[in-house]
Amino acid sequence: VDIDQGLRAYMIKVYNLMGLGLLITGLAAWGAFHLAVTGDGQLTGFGQLIYASAFRWVVILAPLAAVMFLSFRIQSMSVAAAQTTFWVYAGLVGLSLSTIFLVYTGTSITQTFFATAAAFGGLSLYGYTTRRDLSAFGSFLIMGVIGLLIAMLINIF
């Protein structure tokens, strides 16, 4: 029972931190889009910078750089430094993903978010209540993602 309570407390902390990270990502994406695009759909100066200039590559690649930095330095970082890097990463991902607001409606983005959150929550609850290791699904799901990427590329043409 003590181990279960400790695991439960740990998992709640992890889920809370990840939830806060998702909130930061969403707010950064929403905020960046609203700073970048006027009400009539025209790009502001900020929008020109992050969406239509060579700087957009920095915006696109910055989350990858943050992940690489964190993965190389995580063992020697303090907890506070690692958390700060995670929050910066969450904001960078939001900035990078803000372009989805240029293509999709708020309704479709919201529906996709809630469908993904429900699937994650359902699988988490299933794994927690049945105490099954769901890592065996990993290779199957990766193959599904690869299949979806191939289908998306085919549909482009």
**Amino acid letter for position 97:** L
Q: What angle do CA 55, 61, 63 make, to 5 degrees?
A: 120
Least confident piece of the model among 38-42, 119-123, 141-145: 119-123
Q: Is residue 43 over pLDDT 70?
A: yes
Encoding tokens for residue 31? 């905020």
Q: Could you tell me the pTM of the whole model?
A: 0.75
Q: How far apart are CA 124 and CA 156, in angstroms?
A: 34
pLDDT for res 2: 56
Q: What is the mean pLDDT of residues 73-98?
A: 94
Q: Quick one: average pLDDT of 59-66? A: 94
- Greater confidence (137 vs 52) lies with 52
Percentage of residues of the chain with pLDDT beyond 70: 98
At residue 3, the pLDDT reads 60
Question: Does the structure show a pLDDT above 70 at 125?
Answer: yes
